[in-house]
A and B are shown apart, each in its own frame.
Chain A
Amino acid sequence: MSISEPAIKELFTASPLTQKKLTAQKWVKVGLALVTLAILIPLLLVLGYLLVKAWPALSWDFLTDIPRRGMRAGGLWPALIGTLYIVVFSLAAAAPVGVMAGIYLNEFARDTWLTRIINLAVVNLAGVPSIVHALFGMGAFVLFAGLGKSILAASLTLAIMTLPVIIVATKEALASVPMSFREACWNMGASRWQTIRTIVLPNSVSGILTGLILEVCRAAGETAPIMFTGAVFYKAIAPGDLFPYAPSDQCMALSYHLHTISTQVPGVPEEMLYGTAVVLVGFVLAFNSVAIIARMRIRARKKW
Chain B
Amino acid sequence: MGEANGTKIDISGLSVRYGPKRVLRDVSFAINRNEIFAIIGPANSGKTTLLKAINRTVEFIPEARVSGNIRIDGEETFAMRDVYELRRRIGMVFPLPVGLPLSVYDNVAYAPRMSGLRDKVTLDEIIEDCLRKAALWDEVKDRLDTLGTMLSGGQQQRLTIARALSHDPEILCLDEFSIAIDPVTTMRIEDVLIELKERITIILVTNLVQQARRLGDRTCFLNEGEVVQVDRTDVIFSDDPGNKLTHDYVNGIFG
Is A in direct contact with B (CB under 8 Å) within the complex? yes
A303 and B62 contact, CB distance less than 8 A: no
Query: What 1/0 mask marks residues of chain B from 97 to 123 whose CB sits below 8 Å from any chain A CB?
Result: 010111000000011001000000000
Residues of B within 8 A of A110 (CB): 62
Residues A148-194 near B (CB distance < 8 A): 180-181, 183-191, 194
Residues B184-205 near A (CB distance < 8 A): none
Pick from A111, A188, A198: contact of B163, CB under 8 Å? A188
Known: A303-B147, A303-B149, A304-B149. A188 touches B98 (CB 8 A): no
Residues of A within 8 A of B92 (CB): 187
Query: What 1/0 mask marks residues of chain A from 258 to 272 whose CB sits below 8 Å from any chain B CB?
Result: 000000000000000
A185 and B110 contact, CB distance less than 8 A: yes
Known: A110-B62, A187-B164. A181 touches B110 (CB 8 A): no
B57 and A188 contact, CB distance less than 8 A: no
Pick from A180, A190, A198, A303: contact of B98, CB under 8 Å? A180
Residues of B within 8 A of A203 (CB): 101
Residues A183-240 near B (CB distance < 8 A): 183-191, 194, 198-199, 203
Which of B81-89, B213-221, B247-255 is the contact stretch? B81-89
Shortest distance from the beta carbon of A266 to any chain B beta carbon, whole Å: 61
Residue with the greatest number of chain B CB neighbours at <10 A, chosen from A183, A185, A188, A191: A188
* Shortest Cβ distance from B93 into A: residue: A187
B114 and A199 contact, CB distance less than 8 A: no
Shortest distance from the beta carbon of A247 to any chain B beta carbon, whole Å: 40
* Shortest Cβ distance from B63 into A: residue: A111
Pick from A111, A186, A188: contact of B62, CB under 8 Å? A111
Query: What 1/0 mask marks residues of chain B from 114 to 158 whose CB sits below 8 Å from any chain A CB?
Result: 100000000000000000000000000000000101000000000
Residues of B within 8 A of A189 (CB): 84-88, 111, 114, 167
Shortest distance from the beta carbon of A112 to any chain B beta carbon, whole Å: 10
Shortest distance from the beta carbon of A21 to any chain B beta carbon, whole Å: 46
Pick from A183, A188, A303: contact of B110, CB under 8 Å? A188
- A303–B147 Cα distance when bound, in Å, is 8
Pick from A181, A187, A199: contact of B87, CB under 8 Å? A187
* Shortest Cβ distance from B160 into A: residue: A184
* Shortest Cβ distance from A199 into B: residue: B100
A188 and B111 contact, CB distance less than 8 A: yes
- A198–B109 Cα distance when bound, in Å, is 12
A199 and B101 contact, CB distance less than 8 A: yes
- A183–B61 Cα distance when bound, in Å, is 11
Shortest distance from the beta carbon of B171 to any chain A beta carbon, whole Å: 12
A194 and B98 contact, CB distance less than 8 A: no
* Shortest Cβ distance from B87 into A: residue: A189
Residues of A within 8 A of B102 (CB): 199
- A194–B160 Cα distance when bound, in Å, is 19
Shortest distance from the beta carbon of A201 to any chain B beta carbon, whole Å: 12
Residues of A within 8 A of B101 (CB): 181, 199, 203, 303-304
Query: What 1/0 mask marks residues of chain B from 50 to 70 whose CB sits below 8 Å from any chain A CB?
Result: 000001010010100000000
B55 and A187 contact, CB distance less than 8 A: yes
B167 and A181 contact, CB distance less than 8 A: no
Pick from B60, B87, B147: contact of A188, CB under 8 Å? B87
Q: With an 8 A cutoff between CB atoms, is B96 at the interface?
A: yes
Residues of B within 8 A of A186 (CB): 57, 60, 87
Residues of B within 8 A of A187 (CB): 55, 57, 87, 92, 94, 164
Residues of A within 8 A of B62 (CB): 110-111
- 10 A-B pairs with the lowest CB-CB distances in the bound complex, closest first: A189-B88, A189-B87, A304-B149, A187-B92, A188-B111, A184-B98, A189-B84, A180-B98, A303-B101, A191-B84
Can you list 30 A-B contacts (CB < 8 A)? A110-B62, A181-B100, A181-B101, A183-B57, A183-B60, A183-B94, A184-B98, A184-B100, A186-B60, A186-B87, A187-B55, A187-B57, A187-B92, A188-B110, A188-B111, A188-B163, A188-B164, A188-B166, A188-B167, A189-B85, A189-B114, A189-B167, A190-B110, A191-B84, A194-B114, A199-B100, A199-B102, A203-B101, A303-B147, A304-B149
